[in-house]
Structure 1
Amino acid sequence: MSTNLLRPELGDFSSIVCFKAVVVGVEEALGEKAAAIALLAAGRLRGKNLAKELQLSASNAPLDQLAALLNKALGKDGTRLCLVDNILEVDGTYQVFCRETVCSAGEPQGSNRNLSFTLGAVQGALEEITQKRLRGKQIASVLRGSDHDVIEFGVL
């Protein structure tokens, strides 16, 4: 085992089942809206730190390059939070196309669950990279018929 692992025997990853139990438990303790705010803030901090770790702060790298870098860091070769397929700039907003998000995992079709931690992580990374304050909202969901979870970020 690598000495860089946070846990020498179990490694750096835990199950989606446990993560989802944290989300549901926080929702039950704080209520749905307060939990969403807390999870988004936690994700945002994670995303900012990730961008710093990748030395992307204030880089304003091309969006296709950012999508590939975020996919590597957050996808199957990274933390496995989600797959980032594409980032587009549309009418002054950023649209991020994700699949297999941890927030949507295991949810039944038609569920009203939205991205929280995942949205925050992507937002934090984009904010750190672009040096712009963003507001994000989910505009499409794999749980409600889309082939991607799509997050749209407007500049504040």
Structure 2
Amino acid sequence: MDMAIAQNELRQELGDFSSIICLKAIITGVEEALGDKATAIALISAGRQRGRMLAEKLGLVDKGKEVSLADVTQKVQYALGKEGTRLCVVDKIIQEDEGYKVYTHETVCSAGEPQGSSRQCTFTMGAIQGFLEAFLGKRLRGTQTESTLREGTHDVFEYKILGAVQK
């Protein structure tokens, strides 16, 4: 893993990574305590913050130049995929009239969920949103439009452009 993505080891023996099983237990416990909607809001917000921090750590913020969609896609794939945090695999990003559509699979949020589950990929959607916002300098609103848990080939997130990021 590239040193730009790797954190200083937070734990001497176990390292920085933890199990998806424990993460999912945290999520379901918070859902039980706060409810689905409040948990979704919190996880999207936490994901956005993580995505922004990751983009900043990689030196991708405030470059003051136009960035190609291919470059954005490559950076997101690297940072969140197998070489990075392993949050998900980003297959492609498509620019649309009002924003962007991101196709992912093996999201941490869908892992271990049964087919037909209503689980949404809130943290993953938020992390990609925060990364894109920081990298593109645009404020976005994300929604999940397809799920591998509900007969989709991908977990698909659509991000509508709301405006420029306030500095």
Q: Give the structure-2-normalised TM-score.
A: 0.88
String of CA shifts for 1:61-94, please: whole Å, max 9, x gaps.
Answer: 2122222211111111111110111111012220
Shift of 1:147: 1.3
Match for 1:154: what amino acid? K
Matches of 1:128 and 1:96, distance apart in 2:
16
Give CA-to-partner distance per residue, 1:78-117, whole Å, 9 cap, x none.
1111011111101222001111000111111111111111
Give the match for residue 77 of structure 1: 83
Mapped pair 1:110 → 2:116: yes
Residue 7 of structure 1: aligned partner: 11
* Structure-2 residue corresponding to 1:65: 71
Match for residue 153 of structure 1? 159
Secondary structure, aligned partner of 1:133: strand
Alignment of 1:12-23 (within 5 A): 12-23=16-27
1:133, 1:155 within 8 Å by CA — same for their partners in 2?
yes
TM-score with structure 1 length normalisation?
0.94
Instruction: Indicate whether 1:24 and 2:28 are aligned.
Output: yes
Select the residue among 33, 40, 52 that pairs with 2:37: 33
Tell whether 2:138 aligns with 1:132.
yes
Which residue matches 2:52?
48
Query: Superposition RMSD on alpha carbons, in Å?
Result: 1.5
Structure 1: any 5+ residue segments left out of the alignment? none
Match of 2:165 in 1: none
Deviates more, 1:103-112 or 1:68-77: 68-77
Whether contact under 8 Å (1:51, 1:129) holds in the other structure is yes
Q: Deviations over 1:33-62 (max 9, x none)?
A: 000000110000000101111111144421
Structure 2 runs not aligned, ≥5 long: 1-5, 163-167
| Match in the other structure for 2:3 | none
Q: Partner amino acid for 2:123?
A: F
Q: Which amino acid aligns with 1:40?
A: I
**1:109-144: per-residue Cα shift (whole Å, max 9, x none)?**
111111111011000011111111110000111111
Residues 3, 35 of structure 1: alpha-carbon distance in 2 compared, 3 angstrom cutoff: closer
Q: Alignment partner of 1:94: what SS?
A: strand
Question: Identical aligned pairs, as a percentage?
Answer: 56
* Shift, 1:3, TM fit: 9.6
Whether contact under 8 Å (1:64, 1:86) holds in the other structure is no
Alignment check: 8 A CA contact 1:97 1:149 kept: yes
- Kept in 1, the 8 Å contact 2:81–2:88? The answer is yes
